[in-house]
Chains A and B, each alone.
Chain A
Amino acid sequence: MLVPDTAIDDFKTDRKDIAPPLPMIMRLVPLLFYLALLFLAVVGSLASMHAKLASDHRNSLLGRIEELKKEIEGIKTEKTALEKEIQEATDLEAWVLASIPLQPLVVSIIDSMGPQSEIVDFTLERDAETPSQLRIGLKLNTISDKQIEQSLEVIRGLNYREFNPTQTRIQGNLDYKASLLWQDPLANRQTPEGRRAQTGVTP
């Protein structure tokens, strides 16, 4: 026997524990869920890819930074070594320039004495704090003060400049004291061979 559809419904009894339907707006929830999954898939994969590339770039940059730091350190070490070498060279140069041979000066001063002049005492002393300076002391037995001028001419001829001179006459002796400074020592960057050739004047 055929039973019509409508008639079947009539056999059903109402279920008492059935939940009331959700509001219509809640139909959007599954749609939002699928959209969220899509967002996660697209944004997540793009962000991961970008992060991977950026991370590789960052690592290469960090490597380059390390290389640069090492290179800078190397140059700084080289500079420090050079500065030390320059300091040492400056000390050696100062010594060389302050150790100009004195024999030619001594011989010239003695030779500058006129027939009526005689050296009683002659001292040349190097200044301990400024070794390029010499302190000259000449005690002469002479009748004329011109003798000192004559000797100073000779000294100037050898590129020495006198300063702080004092001149006194005690018991007939002329006492002359002054400091001597080699003029323009930097112009005298002689080689050792050049210096050897210059020294050793025949008295």
Chain B
Amino acid sequence: MNPKQIGVILVLAGILIAVQLGMTFQKKARTIDVEVEKARAEEKSLETQLGVEKELLADLQRQSADLLAFVAKWKPYFALMSEQQSAETGISMIVREQAMLTLSQRYEQVPHKINNKDIDALPLLMRATLLFDDNYTKLLNWIGNMEKIKPTMRIGRLALSKGSRGDDLRMELVLEVPLRKEEPAKKP
């Protein structure tokens, strides 16, 4: 191969390199274009998703507003789990104050379950099983008074039968006081 031919090959190689370089620049630009398109599509889909999520949240807030307002009024009347002792003594004190003829009283804490499922918001019940033998009016006034003082307390069982004396009644009463889980401290 003579020098002229070598020179031609070198120049042809230069042409090839220049064209290749130009094509590489163009390819790189096209790759970035594709990435931009992908990013634009992702942004659009995320904006749609954001809109849907905002709408769902607003719907949920609208639907639950009444429920939450109702419960907010009742929340302060629920005893907290840390107050289980005072819930117990609260009942026994009212029994003592009214000088009821009490045959027996038992207090226990039981897990609150419905259909074998734990109730997370009210995990414990303070259950008082009381047995009275006293005057009819006094007994029923006492129940009414208890339901007034503790509006979240409920009667689990009530059994009335003849008492030991003339007008007296024997009343077996199961009272249940729910204990609410403490709310986690909110971050400042």
Interface residues of A, Cβ cutoff 8 Å to B: 19-22, 26, 29-30, 32-33, 36-37, 39-40, 43-44, 47-48, 50-51, 54-55, 57-58, 61-62, 64-65, 68-69, 71-72, 75-76, 78-79, 82-83, 85-93, 95-96, 98-99, 101-104, 106-107, 110, 119-126, 128-129, 131, 189, 191-192, 195-196, 199-203
Note all chain B residues with C-beta closer than 8 A to A71.
50
Chain B interface SS verdict (over half): helix
List B residues 121-161 near A (Cβ within 8 Å): 121-122, 136-137, 140-141, 143-145, 147-148, 151-161
Asked if A203 meets B136 with Cβ closer than 8 Å, knowing A65-B42, A106-B158, the reply is yes
Are B22 and A200 in contact, with the CB atoms below 8 A? Answer: no
Are A103 and B152 in contact, with the CB atoms below 8 A? Answer: no
Are B25 and A51 in contact, with the CB atoms below 8 A? Answer: yes
CB distance from B154 to the nearest CB of A (A): 3
Q: How far is the CA of A121 from the CA of B172 in the complex (A)?
A: 11
Are A54 and B162 in contact, with the CB atoms below 8 A? Answer: no
Note all chain B residues with C-beta closer than 8 A to A91.
119-122
CB distance from B74 to the nearest CB of A (A): 5
Note all chain A residues with C-beta closer than 8 A to B141.
200, 202-203
Are B3 and A19 in contact, with the CB atoms below 8 A? Answer: yes
Asked if A58 meets B60 with Cβ closer than 8 Å, knowing A40-B18, A40-B19, A72-B49, the reply is no
CB contact between B50 and one of A68, A189, A203 (< 8 Å): that residue? A68
Report the contact-size class of chain B (Cβ under 8 Å from the partner): 35 or more
- List the 7 closest A-B pairs by CB distance, nearest first: A99-B154, A47-B25, A91-B121, A200-B144, A19-B2, A61-B39, A36-B18
Residue B101, interface by CB 8 Å = no
Are B15 and A36 in contact, with the CB atoms below 8 A? Answer: yes
List B residues 18-61 near A (Cβ within 8 Å): 18-19, 21-23, 25-26, 28-29, 32-33, 35-36, 39-40, 42-43, 46-47, 49-50, 53-54, 56-57, 60-61
Asked if A120 meets B162 with Cβ closer than 8 Å, knowing A44-B25, A96-B74, A102-B155, the reply is yes
Asked if A103 meets B140 with Cβ closer than 8 Å, knowing A72-B46, A123-B158, the reply is yes
Note all chain A residues with C-beta closer than 8 A to B154.
95, 98-99, 126, 131
Are A43 and B70 in contact, with the CB atoms below 8 A? Answer: no
Q: How far is the CA of A48 from the CA of B53 in the complex (A)?
A: 40
Are A92 and B57 in contact, with the CB atoms below 8 A? Answer: no
Note all chain B residues with C-beta closer than 8 A to A122.
158-161
Are A200 and B70 in contact, with the CB atoms below 8 A? Answer: no
List B residues 155-179 near A (Cβ within 8 Å): 155-162, 178
Note all chain B residues with C-beta closer than 8 A to A89.
64, 67-68, 70-71, 121
Are B114 and A131 in contact, with the CB atoms below 8 A? Answer: yes
Are B36 and A44 in contact, with the CB atoms below 8 A? Answer: no
Q: How far is the CA of A106 from the CA of B147 in the complex (A)?
A: 13
Are B155 and A75 in contact, with the CB atoms below 8 A? Answer: no
Are A43 and B22 in contact, with the CB atoms below 8 A? Answer: yes
Selected A-B contacts with CB under 8 Å, 21 pairs? A22-B4, A40-B19, A48-B25, A51-B32, A61-B43, A82-B57, A82-B61, A86-B67, A87-B121, A89-B121, A91-B120, A95-B178, A99-B153, A106-B160, A121-B160, A122-B161, A125-B157, A129-B114, A192-B74, A200-B141, A200-B147
